[in-house]
Amino acid sequence: MSIKLGDTAPNFQADSSLGTIDFYEYLGNSWGILFSHPADFTPVCTTELGFTSKLKSDFEKKNTKVIALSVDGVEEHKKWIDDINETQNTEVKFPIIADKDRKVSEQYDFIHPNASATATVRSLLIIDPDKKVRLIITYPASTGRNFNEINRVLDSLQLVDSHKIATPVNWNDGDDVIIPPSISTEDAKNIFPKGVTEIKPYLRYTPQPNK
């Protein structure tokens, strides 16, 4: 199946490095980041999972849980985690799904035959507390993901959900945000008491509301 933005992320049960996982139960009312990697004991993936592990406290502050996946088995995952901890100076505490039968990979369209008939691609989804897919991003196997960018998008999505705004190009937490065209300038001045800067009638900025 093909997953698109706004779709409900399908639930699944699977073995993992931390035991049997029910995806919805694992997420609870949290945001979720589900990401696949081509294989265990590979260099790019080792750096990715190590860096993700170091973001643990940051993700916790944002009510976000992380879960990884590959088509390798539980025992391989556990041995590889030892390597990740050693080489990346961290301690991986999030689960890695063992998807040897590719059931979850096929649910989430992580197998791209033209890239590899056997391995999952380097895909990542951000899923909101309503289990809706809010971000889909896929990298080639040779290129490690930019988790700083993923963290930035998570900041934007959570801010957009809590305030009537959008975020401009290269926005980072704390920068000015954009007032959507659906809000008139007159209404915007009441909604955003920190001020409204109008560049064009359709292009208006205001300081980030929660800062």
In tens, the pLDDT along 97-144 reads 999 888 998 899 887 555 554 555 689 999 999 999 999 999 888 899
Average pLDDT over residues 7-16: 97
What's the number of CA atoms in the CB half-sphere (13 Å) around residue 21? Answer: 25
**How many angstroms separate the CA atoms of 125 and 7, rounded?**
11
* CA-to-CA separations, 120 to 8, 140, 160, in angstroms, rounded: 21, 10, 31
DSSP state of 84: H
Least-confidence region, from 121-125, 167-171, 206-210 = 121-125
pLDDT at 74 over 80: yes
What is the Rg, in whole angstroms, of the alpha carbon atoms belonging to the chain?
A: 19
The mean pLDDT value of the chain amounts to 93
Average pLDDT over residues 181-196: 95
Residues tagged active-site: 45
Number of helices (H) and strands (E), helices first, in the chain?
7, 10
Query: What are the structural domains, with CATH classification, of the chain?
Result: 13-144 (3.40.30.10), 163-206 (3.30.1020.10)
Provide the pLDDT for residue 115. Answer: 52
Provide the pLDDT for residue 119. Answer: 57
